[in-house]
Amino acid sequence: MKPSSRPVPVALTIAGHDPSSGAGVTADLQTFAAHGVFGLSAITALTVQSTLGVAAVEPVSPRLLRQVLLHLEADTPAKGVKLGMLASAENAAEAALYLHGKVLANPNIPSVFDPVLVSSSGATMLGEGGLEIVRRVLLPEVRWITPNWAELAVLAELPVGSLAEAEAAAHALGTRYPHLFIVATAGDQPEPVDLLRLPSGEVHTFPGTHLETRSTHGTGCAFSSALLGRLLLGENPQNAVFLAKKYVTEAILSAPQIGQGKGPLHLLWPLKP
């Protein structure tokens, strides 16, 4: 038998490492695999965390991150990039520089930024000066961003406490970055209605059902990675968001009951018999 010659999309995640495997690069790689996408990873930080929360964050050096990105690019250039926790201003700048080179070569390359600013347990995940680098250097390069309401409020510098305010904040952010696809996720809200704003200003909403569960660790990572996977598989923006949301919902519903706190999702559920 000959090995398969079928091309497989290659995606890169630039994010932190979660030793409990609920979030970060481990979750991203599982999500890529669930979508038939081969995953590469560049780790921005080591963390001490579990389902009970984040106890410590130690960023990798920007020099090491740069070496990893360049080494991977020389051998296996990714067709899409997901960015998660960047951990420091310096690493945010390195990620932006790497992405700038990708965009110069292919302006339409899909890139999805899950702006992890603060963990659900309250730990700061970006570092001093990181937000300014994100606004000034990174957002001009990325194509998609998937903030929750709290993150959208920080980025747009507007209050976000309702779907109407989320739409207003998305319009404000989109006005600053006209190329940006913005998905305001509401999985942590009583009525989980996600909102997609296209660069044209057109808005689409995606209603969901509130799930009574403690298996919510890494939902943002899973959604953004699933979104990138769907884009690499050729879905249009609306279908990509709809299917990514559907994937995360099923991952929550089939989640294993692991840990004493916020447990992980079952990210490989599409591969089960």
What's the rounded Cα separation, in Å, for the pair 183 and 163? 12
> By three-state DSSP, how is residue 177 classified?
coil
What's the rounded Cα separation, in Å, for the pair 105 and 272? 38
Quote the tokens at residue 155.
Answer: 């980025």
What's the rounded Cα separation, in Å, for the pair 81 and 129? 23
User: Could you state, in order of their start, the residue ranges of all structural domains in the chain?
Assistant: 10-271
What's the rounded Cα separation, in Å, for the pair 202 and 97? 30
Q: Over the stretch 161-173, which tens digit does the pLDDT of each residue have?
A: 999 999 999 999 9
pLDDT value of position 234: 96
Strand order through the sheet with 10-17: 53-59, 38-50, 10-17, 80-83, 111-113, 144-145, 181-184, 194-197, 203-206
Selected from 3.40.470.10, 3.30.1490.20, 3.40.50.300, 3.40.1190.20, the CATH number assigned to the domain covering 10-271 reads: 3.40.1190.20
Q: How many CB atoms lie within 10 A of CB 74?
A: 8
Whether 138 and 95 have beta carbons less than 8 Å apart is answered as yes
pLDDT value of position 245: 97
Task: Among 35-49, 108-122, 141-155, 174-188, name the one with the lowest average pLDDT.
Answer: 108-122
pLDDT value of position 121: 52
Q: Over the stretch 196-226, which tens digit does the pLDDT of each residue have?
A: 999 999 999 999 888 889 998 999 999 999 9
Q: Over the stretch 96-149, which tens digit does the pLDDT of each residue have?
A: 999 999 998 898 899 999 998 865 555 567 777 889 999 999 999 999 999 999
**Residue 77, CA distances (Å) to 36, 38, 104 in order:** 17, 12, 14
The counts of H helices and E strands in the chain are 8, 9
